[in-house]
Amino acid sequence: MAATRLNFEQWRTLVQKSPEHVADQFLARLEALSKFDRQTWFAATPFKQQLLQALNSAAVDEDRPLACVPYVLQDMFDVKDMPTGCGAPFLAQFEAPLEESSLLYQKLNTLGACFFSKTTPAEFGVDPQGRNLTNGDCKHSDSELYVCGGGAGAAVRTVSEGLVPLAFGLDTGGGIRIPAAFHGLFGFRMGNNAYARDGVFPITPSIESVGWVNNCIADLSTTFRAFHRITKFDSADAPRGYLISELSSAVSADIKSGLLGLTRELNIDEDPAIGTRLRQTLSQGSTAYQTLEARELHSIHQYWVEEYRDQYDPALLKRIQAGIDCTPQIADASAHIQECIRSAFTEFFDDYDYLILPISPVSTPEKSAWNDSLEQQILQLIAPASLAFLPAIILPFACPEGRHSAAQVIINPHKLQIVADLLSQLTGYYEN
C-alpha cells in the first residue's frame, strides 16, 4: 500500500496534536498525484482553510462519536458551495455550486466527522467495473492491472491508500460492496433511509442505498453505532445465520475458503433445504435488478440522452435503451421477481437473523478478466440485498496472490442490534 492505514483513534491523536499538519499532509499527497490520477480519483477538494476549520471545530468536542475523523464523499452527494458532478461526461448541467448540503453531509457534521474531499464516481455512479470514459478509470491501490470496481471505487481507494479512514458512496447496485471486496475493506450498506434520497443524485431511486467503508473492524463498529445508536443484541442466544456460498453461478475455491473461515466464528445453520429454497428465488434477482435499473435510468436521463447521446458511455446508453425497450410484460415480471425475493427474505427472517453471501465469485480480478459473464455473476450475488432494500455488513478476507474479497452479511432490518454482536464475535478473527 502507498501509506499506512490509521484507525480513528490514531487520526484523532494527529488532529489533536496539529490540525494544520493533518491538512497539509492530505493536500500534499493530492499535489503529488499526476494530473490523470487526480482527475480519476478526486472530483473536488476544500481549500486548506476549510479543512482547518472543520478539523479545529471537531477537535473542540471530542465526545462526538466520529470527532476528528476525516472522510470523503462520492461525488453523487451535495455539499454546499461545491458542484455535484456525478462523473458526468458533459459539464454544463453540473458546474454550478449548490446552496444546500445533503442530509448525509449534515449528519456527519453533527457526528464530528471532517469532510476532506469528493471522489470521482463511475459515470453517473452506475458502472460495476468502476469505469469513467471521460475522466479515466480510477486505479486499484495494489496494481493498475486490477479492477478498482463499483460506482464508488475512487472513494474506497482513498481509504485503501490511507488518505482517510472513512468513505461514503451509493451502494444501490454494489457501488460500495464491490470495490470494498476488491480492496479487502470493511463496510456497511444501509437499508431504507433518507440519506440516499435527500441531496443525492439518483441511480435507481426506488431502491437507493448508502454505504461506507472502513479499514478495520473497530472503526466499522464505531461508525455503525454512530448512525444507529444500537449497542446490544437482546437475546441470550447468539444471532443465528445461514451461509449460501453460491447461487446458480460457480464461486471459486478461494472465495468458499474465505467464507468458511469467517463462518467458523459464527452461529451458522447447515440445513441444506433452506439453501435450496432460497437459491431458487434469489438467483433470479439479477434479471429483475437490471430491468428496474434500466427503467429508472431512462426516467432520469431521457432528456439528456436526446441532447448529449454522443457523450454517454455506450455501456450506460445500452442500459438506458433497455429501459426504453422494456415492455409492460417485462416490467411486471421484474416486479414479480422482486416481490418474491422480498417475501423469501421475510420468511427467512422469521427463523434467522442474517444471511451470508459472497460479493464476487472471484477475488480481485484483473481488468483483462472482466467480461459480461463475470459482471452478471457479481450482479446475481449483489442483487438480492438491493432489490429487498436490506442492510448488509461487508466483511473482508484475504485470498492467494495478495488479492482480496469479502462477504456480505445481509441483516434482518428489524434486528439491527445484532450487528454489534456479530462484530464483537468476529473481532478476534480479524485481530489474530
DSSP letters for 144-176: TTB---STTHHHHHHHHTTS-SEEEEE-TTSTT
Three cell numbers written together for 29: 499527497
Q: What gap in Å lies between CA 262 and CA 247, rounded to an integer?
A: 19
Mean pLDDT of the region 412-420: 95
Query: Is pLDDT at 197 greater than 50 in this prediction?
Result: yes
Question: Which pLDDT score is estimated for 234?
Answer: 58
C-alpha dist (Å) from residue 357 to 67, 259, 309, 383 = 33, 8, 37, 11
Mean pLDDT of the region 320-336: 97
Of the candidates 45, 23, 33, the one whose C-alpha atom is nearest the C-alpha of residue 2 is 33
Question: Which pLDDT score is estimated for 1?
Answer: 36
pLDDT digits (tens, 9 = 90+) for 346-369: 999 999 999 999 999 999 999 999
- Domains of the chain in sequence order: 1-432 (3.90.1300.10)
Give the pLDDT band of residue 238 (cuts 50, 70, 90).
confident
Mean pLDDT of the region 113-132: 97
| 83 phi/psi in degrees, rounded to 5 | -75, 160
Tell me which H or E stretch contains 339.
helix 328-348
Q: How many of the other CB atoms lie within 10 Å of CB of 4?
A: 7
3-state secondary structure of 242: strand
Q: CB-based burial of residue 366 (10 Å sphere; 0-12 exposed, 13-18 middle, 19+ buried)?
A: middle
Please report, as a single letter, which amino acid is at residue 419.
V
Tell me which H or E stretch contains 118.
strand 114-119
Lowest mean pLDDT among 112-126, 269-283, 352-366: 269-283
Lowest mean pLDDT among 55-59, 165-169, 324-328, 357-361: 55-59
- Average pLDDT of every residue of the chain: 94
pLDDT digits (tens, 9 = 90+) for 134-174: 999 999 999 999 999 999 999 999 999 999 999 999 999 99
How far, in whole angstroms, is CA 145 from its chain's centroid?
A: 21
Mean pLDDT of the region 207-227: 97
Mean pLDDT of the region 208-216: 97
Mean pLDDT of the region 27-37: 95
Handedness of CA 136, 137, 143, 144 (dihedral sign): negative
Give the pLDDT band of residue 193 (cuts 50, 70, 90).
confident
Helices (H) and strands (E) in the chain, counts: 15, 11
Under DSSP, the state recorded for 70 is E
Q: Which positions ≥6 away from 226 have C-beta within 8 Å?
A: 65, 66, 111
Query: Is pLDDT at 232 greater than 70 in this prediction?
Result: no
Mean pLDDT of the region 240-254: 93
Under DSSP, the state recorded for 392 is E
Strand order in the sheet with 166-170: 42-44, 114-119, 70-74, 166-170, 210-214, 186-189, 392-398, 404-411, 354-358, 240-243, 267-269
C-alpha angle 277-278-279 in degrees, rounded to nearest 5: 95
Query: Is pLDDT at 236 greater than 90 in this prediction?
Result: no
Tell me which H or E stretch contains 408.
strand 404-411
Q: What gap in Å lies between CA 420 and CA 267, rounded to an integer?
A: 15
Q: Give percent of the chain above pLDDT 90.
A: 91
Contact 150, 176 (CB under 8 A): yes
Q: Which positions ≥6 away from 325 have C-beta within 8 Å?
A: none
Question: Which pLDDT score is estimated for 233?
Answer: 55
Question: Which pLDDT score is estimated for 427?
Answer: 94
Q: Give percent of the chain above pLDDT 70.
A: 98
Question: Which pLDDT score is estimated for 2?
Answer: 43
Give the pLDDT band of residue 431 (cuts 50, 70, 90).
confident
Contact 102, 193 (CB under 8 A): no
Instruction: Write down the residue that cell numbers 466520529 correspond to.
Output: 66
C-alpha dist (Å) from residue 407 to 20, 53, 298, 374 = 38, 38, 31, 17
Q: What gap in Å lies between CA 193 and CA 103, rounded to an integer?
A: 10
Mean pLDDT of the region 12-35: 96
